[in-house]
Amino acid sequence: MTPTAKPKKSDVQTFEVSKIWEVFPGTMSRTLLAAWAASVAVMAILLQGIQGAEGTAIPAATTQQPFGEPYELAGSRLVFTNWFFVRPGGFAWLNDRGQSVTVAGNEGPWGAHFRRSDSPFGIRLVAQPAQRMGPILQSERPWEAKGVSINTLIHVDGKYRAWGPCWWEKSRGFCYLESTDGLHWQRPELGQVELAGRKTNMIDANFGEGCVFIDPSAPPAERYKSVRLNDMSYEAFEQYKLERPGGWEPKAKREDVGKAFFLQGAVSPDGIRWKPLPEPLAVEHSDTQIVACYDAALKKYVIYTRGWLVGRQSQQASTGLSGHWISPGRRSIGRTESSDFRRFPLSELVLAPPLSMPPSDVLYTNCKTTIPGAPDLHVMFPTVWHQSDDTTSVVMAASHDGRLWDFVPGGPVFDTAQFGQWDGGCLFASPSLVELADGSFVLPYTGYNFPHKYPRGQLRFLPGYMVWPKGRLVGLEAAERGEFATVAVIPPGRKVLVNALTKRTGSLLVEVAGLDGNAIKARSFAEADPIVGDQYRKPLTWKGQDTLTPEKGKPVMLRFRMDKATLFGLDFVD
């Protein structure tokens, strides 16, 4: 029936009540189901075929992609950073004949029997602590006398590219480095900035803190983009408020420094030659690490900023002074998105210090990134500033969409070294998380010799790596016996390589099921070859056979039986 066709009585009468009964057996009588189904059908027909005054149908709403499984992975890797890919499971109350009497039955106190289906139990998520490597660079140039580090690390076209600060006496710059293995670095003489007549690897001697990212949707001239903090005069701030009334926040104005802060963008064809954008992206207070990216799923640009968890000032005693919101506020993480890189709405908070943290702890930076090989698995590594003793540590947060965030259990993944070490004062993580040739995940950080707010006359800093060997970032752990099933996905490969660790007496078994939940022939637990010991990228097999399904692209769900085992991830390959 087309949206403009006149609804027929038979369209309502033939609504398939039996299909609803199959999904919800025993929950209500067929009579009630028929009445409910008929009302839904009538409403659907009315919404589709409402006629205008001249007999022209009102256009239907734009078609939206439906929700539910099977999911489609954006990459070839699955790491369980949260419960998004784990089925919550189901259950039913059955009578003595095995029929569902859930809700609608009339059994006595002990007449119905509880049965679970794909219900997870005995498992938990644990963020794994990182190992320390560094410093991975030393101060070797005059313009690095006080320090050199990495603010952004990208692995692209077989090369590791890095951008970051370099400081010397009373001056600071922004430098570029590159490496073939992520471990040994070169400083290309770019010829853009000279110091004492010498060519350097500096891009902009006054470039502020920010990040660099690759925009796959952009024309070649703007393939690389960057977002940084900049400032404007009070006069420019007042003029901007008139031109864009909704594009600023009061906290942007800092009377203690005599400036107003804003987010500034820049574009580049190669990450070397940069063109700053003339207009602010947004005028707000984000006076630390700003991380931006292009989200291919949203087809939008996303910026993660510093936000402040602070209330509105009373109108009865309004001062507008920055000290009156900085002092009671808690540094948190904000987010803003836009389809236009040159114009963003103000950020909104997406992650704040949780109640499990002491009230003096704040989220100083966000370090937003993604899992290597899985661009749809969003993670953050916020540096927590412990104001009670001026120390720092790094924690981990995860999100399935970049909007809804939660902390990964397991405590800090990294701590400041012992005082007296090169990174024994404080440290701050930077994007991006990348994979080295040996399979290790590494994340750059800047280590300082002094605590964060210590007198900075003798401050020095260098970069290091947080290292997760074999890419073991988060473990889905069963201390004893545990089970779970994934949501159904379209596998991006016909085979699965498992990254897992079991105790000597432990094991891991995997069953492959279809979208209907039934085990695929010859891929059940009965045929599964057990995973035992320390296994990195080991093929899953069933009596020696390693393909998931007979047909490529067929939706599958994976069931796991674990005994004293930890699962770190799955790689899909052909």
Rounded to a whole number, what is the largest CA-CA distance in the chain?
92
Q: What is the dihedral of CA 524, 527, 532, 535, to 10 degrees?
A: -70
CATH architecture assignment, domain 129-310+321-471: 5 Propeller (2.115)
Burial 457-477 (b: 16+ CB within 10 A, else e): eeebbbbbbbbbebbbbbbbb
Q: Please state whether 303 falls in left (phi above 0), alpha (psi between -120 and 50) or beta.
A: beta
Cβ 37 vs Cβ 15: under 8 Å = yes
Q: What is the pLDDT at residue 486?
A: 98
Please list, in sequence order, all residues whose beta carbon lies within 8 angstroms of the beta carbon of residue 315, skipping any fewer than 6 positions away. none
For the domain made up of 78-88+117-126+475-573, the CATH class stated in words is mainly beta
Three-state SS annotation for 129-170: CCEEECCCCCCCCHHHCCEECCCEEEEECCEEEEEEEEEECC
d(CA 365, CA 304): 9
- Of 322, 312, 243, the residue nearest 283 (C-alpha): 243
d(CA 459, CA 422): 10
* 22 token code pair: 């199959």
Cβ 499 vs Cβ 534: under 8 Å = no
| 0.85 surpassed by pTM | yes
Cβ 38 vs Cβ 44: under 8 Å = no
* 307 token code pair: 């936000």
Q: How many other CB atoms are there within 10 angstroms of residue 91's CB atom?
A: 12
- SS3 call for 220: helix
Boundaries of every domain in the chain: 1-57, 78-88+117-126+475-573, 129-310+321-471
Cβ 302 vs Cβ 282: under 8 Å = no
- Of 160, 237, 188, 151, the residue nearest 430 (C-alpha): 151
d(CA 291, CA 498): 32
Per-residue pLDDT of the chain (574 residues; tens, 9 = 90+): 344 444 343 333 333 333 334 333 444 444 333 444 444 343 443 334 434 433 444 455 577 889 999 999 999 999 999 999 999 999 999 999 999 999 999 999 999 999 999 999 999 999 999 999 999 999 999 999 999 999 999 999 999 999 999 999 888 899 999 999 999 999 999 999 998 899 999 997 555 567 999 999 999 999 999 999 999 999 999 999 999 998 999 999 998 888 999 999 999 999 999 999 999 999 999 989 999 999 999 999 999 999 999 999 898 888 878 888 899 999 999 999 999 999 999 999 999 999 999 999 999 999 999 999 999 999 999 999 999 999 999 999 999 999 999 999 998 999 999 999 999 999 999 999 999 999 999 999 999 999 999 999 999 999 999 999 999 999 999 999 999 999 999 999 999 999 999 999 999 999 999 999 999 999 999 999 999 999 999 999 999 999 999 888 899 999 999 999 999 999 999 9
- Of 493, 464, 287, 293, the residue nearest 378 (C-alpha): 293
Q: What is the pLDDT at residue 61?
A: 57
